[in-house]
Amino acid sequence: MKALTESEYLIDAEPALRRVFLNDNPLLPVFGEAVERRKVLYEYRVPDAQITPVVVQVASELGDDGFFFSNLMRTSDPVNANHWWIPFDEVSIFLSCNTDVFNFAYQLENVVYSPSGQWGLMWTFENLGVLAGTGSYIDRVCQIIPSIEEQLKNYLNSIKEGKDTWGIENINITWLPSFLEHMFGTEVAIRMLEEAHLTD
């Protein structure tokens, strides 16, 4: 495992990240040239003991030997790193939530991503994961964890329950229509919101 300087990130890691995500905003993701499929994970937290081994397995099958891990909300403190290279044989360090190694990275919005630019997984404070990548990568992950297909629906249902319990004025979902539109396009986003009864 290696902490990267900002210069090393710009040279070694960012080009791979930008093949998947063109920006650092997980609530309004803009997807890069490698992205053929995208999924929403809920409830996803970093590090996720169910998702991470599958991410590693499928990435390994497609030729990766590790992944990058980056803060999306970067600290300017030169002592604390914002980016790391994690070989698959050291993924247990990532799963251990070792704050001596990763400082505040687990508390900040972050992304894990392929060195070959085949996939990426962003985490938001809403406990959503944005998984994007090649069709072969995403399809294989969904084959191993078929429940991924239901996770966005579960999230929308939880919002509806909150709306019904506390009232729409007491929950903030102003970001949700734009998020769904960025993920799936306008027509699909509208349909999802209507089906979840979140349009009024």
Is residue 104 assigned to a domain? yes
132 with 182, same domain?
A: no
Burial class (CB in 10 A: 0-12, 13-18, 19+), 69: buried
Residues facing 3 on adjacent strands: 84
43 with 129, same domain?
A: yes
94 with 141, same domain?
A: yes
d(CA 98, CA 105): 10
136 with 160, same domain?
A: no
Token pair recorded at residue 151: 């996770």
157 with 90, same domain?
A: no
Residues 6+ apart with CB under 8 A from 147: none
Is residue 163 assigned to a domain? yes
Q: Between the CA of residue 15 and those of 29, 31, 33, 68, 89, what are the distances in Å?
A: 16, 13, 11, 12, 23
Residue 164 has pLDDT above 70, yes or no: yes
Domain, as residue range, for 7: 2-146
127 with 41, same domain?
A: yes
Tally Cβ neighbours within 10 Å of residue 86: 21
Report the SS3 class of residue 167. Answer: coil
Is residue 33 assigned to a domain? yes
Mean pLDDT of 152-165: 89
Q: Does the CA dihedral 79-11-46-27 come out positive or negative?
A: positive
Is residue 200 assigned to a domain? no
Last residue of a domain, one of 130, 146, 162: 146
Query: Given pLDDT bands bounded at 50, 70 and 90, which one contains residue 200?
Result: low
Least confident of 20-24, 42-46, 102-106, 127-131: 102-106
Split into its structural domains, the chain has a count of 2
42 with 136, same domain?
A: yes
Last residue of a domain, one of 110, 129, 146: 146
pLDDT at 43: 86
Q: What is the pLDDT of residues 42-69, one digit of tens each?
A: 988 778 888 999 999 999 999 999 999 9
Residue 140 has pLDDT above 90, yes or no: yes
Residue with tokens 């905003």: 25
d(CA 83, CA 107): 14
Is residue 114 assigned to a domain? yes
82 with 133, same domain?
A: yes
The whole-model pTM stands at 0.90
Report the SS3 class of residue 140. Answer: helix
